[in-house]
Amino acid sequence: MSNCKPMFEWMQGRLSRRQSLKSAGQLGVFGAICSAAGIVSPAHAATGKGAKKHSRHHAGANRTVGRVDNKRNGFDPHAILTDWERGTLSTDDRGRRVRTFDIVAIDKEIEIAPGLFFPAWTYNGRVPGPTLRATEGETIKVNFRNSGSHPHSIHFHGIHGASMDGIMGAGMVNPGDEFTYEVSARPFGCHLYHCHAIPLKRHIHKGLYGAIIIDPDPELHPEQREIALSRQLGSDENARWQEMVMVMNGFDTNFDDENEVYAANSIAFAYMLDPILIKRDRPVRIYLVNVTEFDPVNSFHLHANFFDYFDHGTTLTPTLRTVDTVMLCQAQRGIIEFSFKDFEPGRYMFHAHQSEFAELGWMSFLKVEA
Ligand SMILES: [Cu+2]
């Protein structure tokens, strides 16, 4: 740790105030790296003594040391990949299939990197909020209770009436109050929901967002029934796929309208420290959502392979084929499909291709196994 402090002071003298603040945020990550046993200063690295340790530091850099306490957070980034919230299915007196979810807004401090805490506003105590999953044609009802300290709402990117829009005068909920949103589960695809209280950037960035996945109804797509079936959770065709959701986000830990930490599903480097296990012979499908505030774009880049991309997930044929990078503005989302069939087993990296985001947490591994 003592080696890190002089370096930080040296850097601080050379940066503008805003850059310094940002470096202070980085120190959370950098400090964690330095606190590991065996890290030596660049000065020592220049001599023979300690050079090996230093090179090991560089080989293993771009990650944090130590672990986020998932238990204290109340959510686990690995569980979030696949913990679809299915709600309760019923038929109403108009004969409609209704899927009902319960969501509560709660203020909650969460740990986003080891030892780095963020005063979040959450849906159901987690960031991102629950991944709602429904089937095309259903009616979605969400009973929303605001147990937070500010007015909040749920605004769905989907199809619904004006009164259900989650904006001022249409489903904005004061602390202690409740509201039931009713929206259509269409179009099928990969969508999102978020709070639409103002100031919008603050309410979104604090953590009030989540993914909503609408599976296509195979009966409505006879010409592409097999593909639709593969997306329908619970079908044999779907069971073959290794599906996961990734919500790309960032955290402004010092409230200067810039992010100090970036991630997929909130926890910096979570999938770097514990790579996501992938079976080589089964295809992979990622539901990707960008909710990053303050930066105009985020991106997803896969190493050593290429993928097909379905913009917004609203088509059954790819909108981009054979690419290894996609760029998404805030609220843009899509479905990524690829396979590691016949590849050499090992760790395959994926990350934002804004290098700054990658170095501040949004860097990950898939561990491909035979
Ligand atoms: Cu809000």
Cα of 121 to ligand 1 centre, how many Å? 8
Share of the chain above pLDDT 70, in %: 83
Helices 17-34 & 4-12 angle (0-180, nearest 10)? 170
Tokens representing 156 are: 């769905």
Say if CB 166 and CB 126 are below 8 A apart.
Answer: no
Q: How confident is the model at residue 201 (pLDDT cuts 50, 70, 90)?
A: confident
Determine how β-strand 284-290 pairs with β-strand 242-251: parallel
Q: How many whole angstroms from 293 Cα to the centroid of ligand 1?
A: 14
Task: Write down the pLDDT at residue 25.
Answer: 42
- Residues whose CB falls within 8 Å of the CB of residue 239, separated by 6 or more in sequence, listed in order: none
CA trace torsion 40, 45, 47, 51 (10° rounding) = 90
Please say if the pLDDT value at position 268 is more than 80. yes
Please give the distance, rounded to the nearest whole angstrom, from the Cα atom of residue 122 to the centre of ligand 1.
9
Tell me the pLDDT tens digit for each residue of 292-313: 999 999 999 999 999 999 999 9
Determine the distance separating the centroid of ligand 1 and the alpha carbon of 135, expressed in angstroms: 27
195 CA distance to ligand 1 middle (Å)? 5
16-29 pLDDT, tens digit per residue, is 333 433 444 443 44
pLDDT at residue number 57: 42
Q: Residue 40 pLDDT more than 50? A: no
Q: Which of 303, 318, 288, 301 is nearest to 368 (CA)?
A: 303
Those residues whose beta carbon sits under 5 angstroms from the ion ligand 1 are 152, 195, 197, 203, 208
Q: Is the pLDDT of residue 119 over 60?
A: yes
Higher pLDDT, 112 or 31: 112
CA of 277 to the centre of ligand 1 (A): 35
Give the strand pairing for 88-91 and 97-113.
antiparallel
Q: Per-residue confidence at 63, pLDDT binned at 50, 70, 90?
A: confident
Structure tokens at 106: 């709660």
Please state, rounded to an integer, the average pLDDT across all residues of the chain: 86
Distance 172 CA to ligand 1 centre (A): 9
CA of 181 to the centre of ligand 1 (A): 15
Quick: pLDDT tens for 129-160. Answer: 999 999 999 999 999 999 999 999 999 999 99
